[in-house]
Amino acid sequence: MARERSAVMPRYFFNIVRGVERIIDADGIELQDDELVAFEWPKLIKEMISEEPDLFLEHEDWSIEIVDTGGRVVHLVALKA
């Protein structure tokens, strides 16, 4: 009898980084795969900026590092004011 695989979606984390300094996203979000992250990150970052604009103004020379649950960097996006 074949076992059914659970349909668990991977979780991605949006950390704000500059060099070794980090503001860690402890919650992350579930997305289907890395390719979906490539299409979704602009929208997600826009939402993050609208929710916490001061955080982004204070960290304009930082980047958002999008990592998977294994710690692999999927995308790195520079923040601009």
Q: Write the pLDDT tens digit of every residue in 19-74.
A: 888 889 999 989 888 777 877 788 877 887 788 877 777 777 888 899 999 999 99
pLDDT at 36: 79
Signed CA dihedral, 55, 40, 29, 23: sign only: negative
pLDDT at 77: 86
Backbone φ, ψ for residue 74 (5° rounding): -95, -40
Residue 20 CA to residue 34 CA, distance in Å, equals 24
Prediction pTM value:
0.73
Helix (H) or strand (E) holding 53: helix 53-58
pLDDT at 1: 47
The residue count of the chain comes to 81
Asked if 60 and 14 touch (Cβ cutoff 8 Å), the reply is no
